[in-house]
Amino acid sequence: MNRKPKINKKIYVANLPLETSEPELKTLFSSAGDVMSVKIVKDRQTSQPKGIAFVEMSTQWEARRAVSMLNRKNFMGRDLLVKEARVNRGFRENW
C-alpha cells in the first residue's frame, strides 16, 4: 500500500487571552488565507478555555504563511505563540 504522507495544515496557537472566541481567531487567521476550522481547547472538568487553540488552514502554504505572519503578534494584549502543530501518530482526532 503506497500512502502519501499527510500534509500538515494545522497550526498550534498558544498564549491566547481566555476571553478569545473562535470567530475572532478565524478573522485573525483569515488574513493569511482560507481558514477551514478553529478549535479552542477547553478544560474537560471546568469547560474553561486553556489559552490554546488549533487552526486548520486550507493549504500547507497558507499554514506556513500564517505562522510567519502571526507568531509573536500582539492579539488582545498578549503576544501569540503560533507554530505548525505536531502530528500525533496513533492518536484519534476528536475535532
Identify the structural domains of the chain with CATH numbers, from first to last.
10-84 (3.30.70.330)
**SS3 per residue for 11-49:** EEEECCCCCCCHHHHHHHHCCCCCEEEEEEEECCCCCCE
User: What is the pTM (predicted TM-score) of this model?
Assistant: 0.83
Q: Rounded to an integer, what distance in angstroms lies between the CA atom of residue 60 and that of residue 14?
A: 20
pLDDT in the model for residue 49:
95
Q: Which three cell numbers stand for residue 4?
A: 502519501
Q: What is the pLDDT along the chain (95 residues), one digit of tens a residue?
A: 555 555 669 999 999 999 999 999 999 999 999 999 999 999 999 999 999 999 999 999 999 999 999 999 999 999 999 999 987 655 555 54
pLDDT in the model for residue 86:
84
